[in-house]
Chain A
Amino acid sequence: KAGVTQTPRYLIKTRGQQVTLSCSPISGHRSVSWYQQTPGQGLQFLFEYFSETQRNKGNFPGRFSGRQFSNSRSEMNVSTLELGDSALYLCASSLNTATNEKLFFGSGTQLSVL
């Protein structure tokens, strides 16, 4: 079956702009999580959605937001981009949120803010 699909693969924006990233989970998966990966901070949790509801949130400013649609596809939005937002944004899907759940990651969207 198809894996987690993230679009676009690469994105270049300038400071102050906003950006929307998309994630299509594996068919049947209802949980979608977003992570930011940078060389300095590593992988950091942004938020998790399950059945269109945000269930968990990391320590990121309100400029970072997300949503999930009824078909489990998810989008994340970053407004008023800053240079420090340059990162690989990864989406992961899973069947549920049971403990020790297996997460499947997409290939990510590489965002560069100039």
Chain B
Amino acid sequence: TQLLEQSPQFLSIQEGENLTVYCNSSSVFSSLQWYRQEPGEGPVLLVTVVTGGEVKKLKRLTFQFGDARKDSSLHITAAQPGDTGLYLCAGFVYGNKLVFGAGTILRVKS
């Protein structure tokens, strides 16, 4: 059982559509991070959310941390083919150990 559950597992959409990816847990995290990974590369950190209820925006990407700090979401507005990749949420547990969700594979078709 994953400590962090991500949904959906796979998303295939047309360019210009909006989408939301969810990351849920029964555990409280001091913070959650979102990464994007492209084939053949390592994950790249997009954002860290720290405060319950926090909303962060990165261009067309909006990240939200749940009030209880158990869940987070990533919303992409007007998706583009360049957004294609594997999106991972992750949280720190004791020290510098990151636990990752299984990831959401996003494919944006032009």
Chain B residues contacting A48 (CB-CB under 8 Å) are 95-97
On chain B, which size bracket covers the interface? Answer: 20 to 34
On chain A, which size bracket covers the interface? Answer: 20 to 34
Chain B residues contacting A97 (CB-CB under 8 Å) are 95-96
> Which has the most chain A C-beta neighbours within 10 Å: B42, B43, B101, B102?
B42
Q: Is B44 an interface residue (CB 8 A)?
A: yes
Contact status B95-A56, CB under 8 Å: yes
Q: Is B68 an interface residue (CB 8 A)?
A: no
* Interface residues of B, Cβ cutoff 8 Å to A: 2, 30-31, 33, 40-45, 48, 50, 88, 90, 92, 94-103
14 more A-B residue pairs beyond the given contacts A55-B95, A100-B33, with a C-beta to C-beta distance below 8 A: A4-B42, A42-B102, A43-B90, A45-B97, A45-B99, A48-B97, A56-B96, A100-B48, A100-B92, A103-B45, A105-B42, A105-B43, A107-B40, A108-B41
* Interface residues of A, Cβ cutoff 8 Å to B: 4, 31, 33, 35, 42-45, 48, 50, 55-56, 58, 90, 92, 94, 97, 99-108
